[in-house]
Structure 1
Amino acid sequence: MTFARPDHAIDLDTLPRMPAWVISARAETLEDIAFLSGAALTHLHLVLGHEEVPQTLLRDRFALRAAAACVAFSGRPEREAELRDAIHLLRPGDLPGPVGETYLAWRRAAERRMSIKALGRALPTIDPGQIAAWLDAGKGAPVTRAAMVLEAVLREAPRADIAGLILADAALTQALGWDHVVPLLAPALKRADLRKHGEDLRLACHRALIASAVEAVRLAADLARRAAHLKAVAPKLRAKGAGVAVEMFLTRDAMAPSALPLPDRAARRLCDRLVDLGAVRELTGRDTFRLYGV
């Protein structure tokens, strides 16, 4: 396994920046909003095509944000930190609970190449035939397809917010020709948006996708810089299994030392070493039960 040398740093200036007019424009009509969301998604598509962007990590981080949004929609108080704990601090035999299940659903939807089987793994209580039927409810342009799928799911299953939002993002993924679901709608929609219909729902989806695409481009650039630094310092790590650990950090939002392929004490030392090198961050602020991420 090889990593980029420090003296061969990736030129991250090659990542295109979101045009200022997409961010600053004020549009009210559906046609104007649709134009801006199309521009934002096109720009995100270009950014995702750059190999410097750790796409699996980006999707995992957006899966966390989507899950946190869905938990908030349900009226629960847990936020991103609690969702991380719900999954990463599980002991063998423990159940993740409803909050953890929400997070797992989004992670599973985003981690594998999109297919009915992969979506079924994320939504195990829904028949694969029903998943396919709901996806087929979307017609037309990408955002219109996503909104139609979301509306179709919530019309037939009004409490299935998570399924509706996952399948709406899946419909968007299909329409854009992407390989993996990128959770974009849930993090930027409002709870009230889920009860809208027709043009009002499409307008809400366009607005949400502009906001999420702008944030995804910003986060992609940030993660690309952090990933480049992690790869650059990797040769300084002498622990056996450090290379595999680095690869894991490059694909996951957060890691507990116990999940690394090292003895417990060595794993904690490696995480502390990476923090000292500025390659990863400790995410909890705790002295115990710590989690780390790029």
Structure 2
Amino acid sequence: MTCQLTTISNDPCSLPQLPAWVTGAPAETLEDVAFLSGAALAHLNLVQSRDDVPQSLLRARMSLRAAEACVAQSGRPERARELRDAVAFLQPGDNPGPAGEVYQCWRRAVERPVSVKALHRALPEIEAEQIAAWLDAGQGAPVRRAAAVLQAVLEDRPRDLATAVILADAALGQALGWDHVLPLVTLGLKRGDLRKTGEALQLACHRAIGTAAVESTREAADLARRAARLKAVAPKLRARGAEEAVALFLTQDAVAPTSLTSLRSDRAARRFCDRLVELGAVRELTGRDTFRLYGV
């Protein structure tokens, strides 16, 4: 086999590319799949240290994908557009619905440095002691630990996929020394994988995590380019409160103009968002004339 070396560019918007033997090599045995998922995770670990990658935004974007995957696994029809709407326009006391609740759990899970306390905040229906006990079920190498936590949660709560994969990703991140949860486990799992245990579940988790690590790396490269564009046009924005508004776009997947409280009014916020679209710095995400959402 000829190995393709990974080169690291001096261009701050150019992330190192995954070698083709990671993204394209077929693998069937646990040893081969584990090797490739480990290589993908090692590469992603480098991406996590890059200052030009908007890490909070990356976690937010991947949390939306993870919530979408969880909802799809449960047989519900909501996808990214509906999940964004379910959460973005909530008023105090509103119920986001089952799919929206899954998305809220994921959003909370990735916001704060990982700890039992933070995970209990993300999953308020689960006692902190139970969360700690599930996390302690995972031992050994990172993916093995994630698979053990996934199995432990699903044995106790077989219909609670969101809790299982959030805690599996938390265990994975802790084992890798990451400060925050980055959604990976659920993105590549198939419905049949959730019935597996032991070595078969480890193999499924290696496949899922390897696939998601590649996807996350590509998303990071795209967001780095988009964030650089937004930062480049920021000096052209003369509105009072523009700096705080730009910072919000660099941390959240979708921004409603009404959330840009640093600007003078809702009308000013809408003009600000439309100006960013004109400058090619953000996108309008809904295709609607009203109740619009914008994102990098």
Above 0.5 in TM-score?
Answer: yes
Could you tell me which residue of structure 2 aligns to residue 7 of structure 1? none
Distance 2:253 2:144 in 1: 30
Could you tell me which residue of structure 2 aligns to residue 285 of structure 1? 287
The answer for unaligned runs of 5 or more in structure 2 is 1-9
Runs of 4+ in 1 over 4 A off after TM superposition: none
Distance 1:97 1:81 in 2: 14
Amino acid at match of 1:251: T
Q: CA deviation at 1:200?
A: 1.1
User: Does 2:153 align with 1:153?
Assistant: yes
Matches within 5 A, 1:1-294: 11-12=11-12, 14-261=14-261, 262=263, 263-294=265-296
Distance 2:246 2:14 in 1: 24
Q: CA deviation at 1:12?
A: 3.4
Could you tell me which residue of structure 1 aligns to residue 5 of structure 2? none
* Residues 150, 165 of structure 2: 8 Å contact kept: yes
1:264-288 Cα offsets, whole Å, 9 max, x none, are 0000000000000000000111111
Distance 1:274 1:86 in 2: 24
Amino acid at match of 1:287: D
Q: CA deviation at 1:14?
A: 4.8
Could you tell me which residue of structure 2 aligns to residue 6 of structure 1? none
Residues 159 and 184 of structure 1: CA distance in aligned 2, closer, same or farther (over 3 Å): same
Distance 1:203 1:14 in 2: 32
* Residues 12, 221 of structure 1: 8 Å contact kept: no
Distance 2:43 2:106 in 1: 24
Distance 2:57 2:88 in 1: 15
Distance 1:260 1:224 in 2: 22
Distance 1:211 1:260 in 2: 35
Amino acid at match of 1:201: L
Could you tell me which residue of structure 2 aligns to residue 3 of structure 1? none
Secondary structure at the aligned position of 1:159 is classed as coil
Secondary structure at the aligned position of 2:186 is classed as coil
Distance 1:93 1:271 in 2: 28
Query: Comparing 33-42 with 66-75, which one deviates more in the overlay?
Result: 66-75
Identical positions, percent: 69
| CA root-mean-square deviation | 1.0
1:32-82 Cα offsets, whole Å, 9 max, x none, are 000000000000001111100000000000100111111111111000100
Q: CA deviation at 1:13?
A: 5.5
Distance 1:275 1:41 in 2: 34
Distance 2:216 2:41 in 1: 10
The answer for unaligned runs of 5 or more in structure 1 is 1-9
1:180-233 Cα offsets, whole Å, 9 max, x none, are 000111122112211111111111111111111111111101100100110110
Q: CA deviation at 1:91?
A: 2.8
Query: Comparing 178-187 with 86-95, which one deviates more in the overlay?
Result: 86-95
Distance 2:39 2:93 in 1: 47
Amino acid at match of 1:293: G
Distance 1:61 1:257 in 2: 19
* Residues 188, 212 of structure 1: 8 Å contact kept: yes
Query: Comparing 266-275 with 189-198, which one deviates more in the overlay?
Result: 189-198
Aligned pair count reads 285
* Residues 13, 224 of structure 2: 8 Å contact kept: no
Distance 1:117 1:74 in 2: 27
Distance 1:179 1:87 in 2: 25
Q: Which has the higher contact order (CA 8 A, sep 6+)?
A: 1
